[in-house]
Amino acid sequence: MKPVFDPSMVKRIIAILLLLLFVKLLWFVVEVAFFPAQGVNHAEEKRAKPLYYRIRLTPNKAQPPREKIPAKPVGSIRDITLLGVYSAPDVTVVTIRYKGKSKVLGKGDSVNGFMLDRAGHDYAIFTKGGKEYKVVLQHSKVVGSNAIRTVEHPSVPHSSSAPKGEIVDAGDRKIIDHGLVEYFGKHMDEIEKDIGVREVKKGGGIEGFRVTYVKRGSPFSKLGLRRGDILKSVNGEALTSYKAAFDIYKQVGDMQNMTLVIQRGNKEMELEYEVN
């Protein structure tokens, strides 16, 4: 019986298949190692896409010109007139006239944008915008030793109107018209015409202010003050420095009741006032 398949033929077919497989593998290795993946070795130029597109929804109309805001007038140091100054190692207080009104400033207080920085015996230094401005107290006169120095300015006339308001003695207290308090609050330079004070020192510190004179018939004489009285405190605030005294002066216009403690001779007493 003749066999269907020739064994030698089968061996030749298997050898040819193995040879083809080997050639295929060899070509795959050469293709991977030496040829680019896409057949052409070049870099594609990439262009960045815009993140947004400008779309004009309305027609371009001419914009009306912006209205210019007028600049605020810049204050001048010439608007400040120095009326009095007190300078010590622990306190700096000055009195000035600004826009026709008297003001009391302590170190760090500002007026017209100028801040009080320090003072000497006849001048004050203000600062603004990193610059210093010196205001000189001209033709000054000293009122007592270590007292506040004041100055008369011929160019600034005194108020022709007399202080308006009465002081009524109600027995246990004196009633002061508010108009009188308001007048002296705006015209500090008028106070020294009616009353004089100077500090009383003890142990290197101030323990009060002694009344050196009181004009007869003046509002201060009607308050019951006498020459030689020592002013000790107002509403519990001790008058142990010029700053304390000026702080009370700045607040007196807002007070409705005042208790003034004075020392008369060897006796300490209270004077009660009501502002109406």
pLDDT recorded at residue 155: 39
Q: Kindly report, residue by residue over 153-179, the tens digit of the pLDDT.
A: 333 444 445 666 789 999 999 999 988
Distance of alpha carbon 170 from alpha carbon 174, whole angstroms: 5
Q: Considering only CA atoms, which of 55, 96, 54 is closest in space to residue 77?
A: 96
Answer yes or no: pTM beyond 0.85: no
Distance of alpha carbon 227 from alpha carbon 225, whole angstroms: 7
Give the domain 77-151 fold. SH3 type barrels. (2.30.30)
| CATH number listed for the domain at residues 167-275 | 2.30.42.10
Kindly give, in sequence order, each residue whose CB lies less than 8 Å from that of residue 165, ignoring residues fewer than 6 positions away.
Answer: 176, 177, 178, 179, 180, 181, 183, 219
Classified as helix, coil or strand, 113 is coil
Q: Do domains 77-151 and 167-275 have the same CATH topology?
A: no
Evaluate whether 196 touches 212 at the Cβ level (below 8 Å).
yes
Kindly give, in sequence order, each residue whose CB lies less than 8 Å from that of residue 198, ignoring residues fewer than 6 positions away.
Answer: 143, 144, 145, 146, 147, 209, 210, 212
pLDDT recorded at residue 62: 63
- By mean pLDDT, which of 6-20, 122-136, 201-215 is the weakest? 6-20
Q: Kindly report, residue by residue over 29-68, the tens digit of the pLDDT.
A: 767 666 555 555 554 555 655 555 555 655 556 666 676 6
**Per-residue pLDDT band at 145 (split at 50, 70, 90):** very low
Between 10 and 5, the higher pLDDT residue: 10
> How is the chain split into domains, by residue range?
77-151, 167-275
> Is it the case that residue 103 has pLDDT exceeding 60?
yes
Classified as helix, coil or strand, 132 is strand
Distance of alpha carbon 205 from alpha carbon 175, whole angstroms: 33
> Is it the case that residue 231 has pLDDT exceeding 70?
yes
